[in-house]
Structure 1
Amino acid sequence: MKIGGFLHLILADNSGDDYLWIWGSPDQPMAMMLPIGSDPFARLVSAERLCRRLNGMASGPPALRPPPFRRERLLTLLQVLDGHHAGASRREMAATLIDDDVRDFNAADWVESRERKRISRWIKEAVELRDGGYIRLLRGG
């Protein structure tokens, strides 16, 4: 579709579409312009995806559109971070996010439980994500 002096293209891809605005003739050498903005790393990942695709390589999923399993994991980590920030105990978070039966564990069962170990790992991962690990997401990692 032509809008003004620009050709607007959508390159359909199962991993995520690419949207291009081309100025000039598409059969001439092209340059890429990337506005810096507030999210330069995500734009660089998008540019890399496009270059990989134009060179016949698999483009991979867009940086900000993780696969469904990863998306669920990230949502869980956000819930863990919210609970941690709100002062919820590890047992409360485990009961809410993993298994309600955790509420009935005695102290010894809780200390040895898989749920306690899992929620501890999740808290560590969520805090790391909050404290800079999110940059890996923007880069597609």
Structure 2
Amino acid sequence: MFSFSTGIALSAADVFWLPDRNPSVLIVEARPIAPGHADAFDIRRLASMATVLCCGGFEHVLFSDGLRHLQLMVTAGSVLDGPVCFRYLLSGRQQMEAKVLALQRLCGLCRLGRLPRGLFPPEQRARRWAMMLRAWDGEMAGASRRQMAATIFGETAAQELWESGYRSRMQRLVREAEQMVSGGYLGLLERSTEGKGGF
């Protein structure tokens, strides 16, 4: 059965966003429908990848395969009561591309039973973000910049090449990581086609 929570037993992998922070969250209304209807959506078919969080009078539905995510915010009705037909709430122009992409991902999920890889292009800056995260972990653990450089780039960077650019490189990584954890991560969501993250 899928994971269900009222907000107290979520795993670290269950990251939810509010639609005003992440434009890729689809806002839907769920209306009961006959099980055999062509438009029927039954969350039980996707139980292995679904988590439902009931919070603030809404259902937040997260589909995840560990790498890719799709989130719905159900503002009326419930996906927990059996098959439903979705009514999609789309408005405005500014976030339309993100909403349309999320809708395409939902269509693919319904059709394939999985999140379609082709609709989740690789993030070009992911490697940089991973280095920033490792640098921040080192900073919080009290490691020296040389120790961090050795861990991230190898011993040669921390020794022979330290004064040839890796000292300043580590300073930049830590500075950028600090900006990110101080709220800069929210700016990533303005790049609306990625749709990654949580509240």
User: Of residues 109, 124, 127 in structure 1, which corresponds to 2:175?
Assistant: 124
More strand per residue = 2
Q: Which has the larger radius of gyration?
A: 1
Within 2, Cα distance between the matches of 1:53 and 1:102?
42
In the alignment, which residue of structure 1 is the partner of 2:124?
Answer: 69
Structure having greater relative contact order (Cα 8 Å, sep ≥ 6): 2
Letter in 1 for 2:86: I
1:82 aligns with 2:137: yes
Within 1, Cα distance between the matches of 2:128 and 2:185?
13
Displacement of 1:49 after TM fit?
1.4
Within 2, Cα distance between the matches of 1:125 and 1:101?
23
Displacement of 1:115 after TM fit?
1.0
The count of residues paired between Structure 1 and Structure 2 equals: 102
In the alignment, which residue of structure 2 is the partner of 1:12?
Answer: none
Structure 2: which 5+ residue stretches go unaligned? 1-30, 42-67, 73-84, 104-119, 193-199
Structure 1: which 5+ residue stretches go unaligned? 10-15, 24-29, 34-43, 55-64
- Maintained 8 Å contact 2:146/2:158: yes
TM-score, with structure 1 as normaliser = 0.53
In the alignment, which residue of structure 1 is the partner of 2:190?
Answer: 139
Within 1, Cα distance between the matches of 2:131 and 2:140?
14
More helix per residue = 1
> In percent, how many aligned pairs have the same letter?
32
- Maintained 8 Å contact 1:18/1:50: no
TM-score, with structure 2 as normaliser = 0.40
User: Of residues 80, 98, 106 in structure 2, which corresponds to 1:49?
Assistant: 98
User: Of residues 94, 98, 102 in structure 1, which corresponds to 2:153?
Assistant: 98
Displacement of 1:91 after TM fit?
0.6
Q: Deviations over 1:52-102 (max 9, x none)?
A: 899xxxxxxxxxx77343222212111110000101001111111113124
> Residues 78 and 103 from structure 1, CA distance in 2 versus in 1: closer, same or farther, beyond 3 angstroms?
closer
Within 1, Cα distance between the matches of 2:101 and 2:123?
23
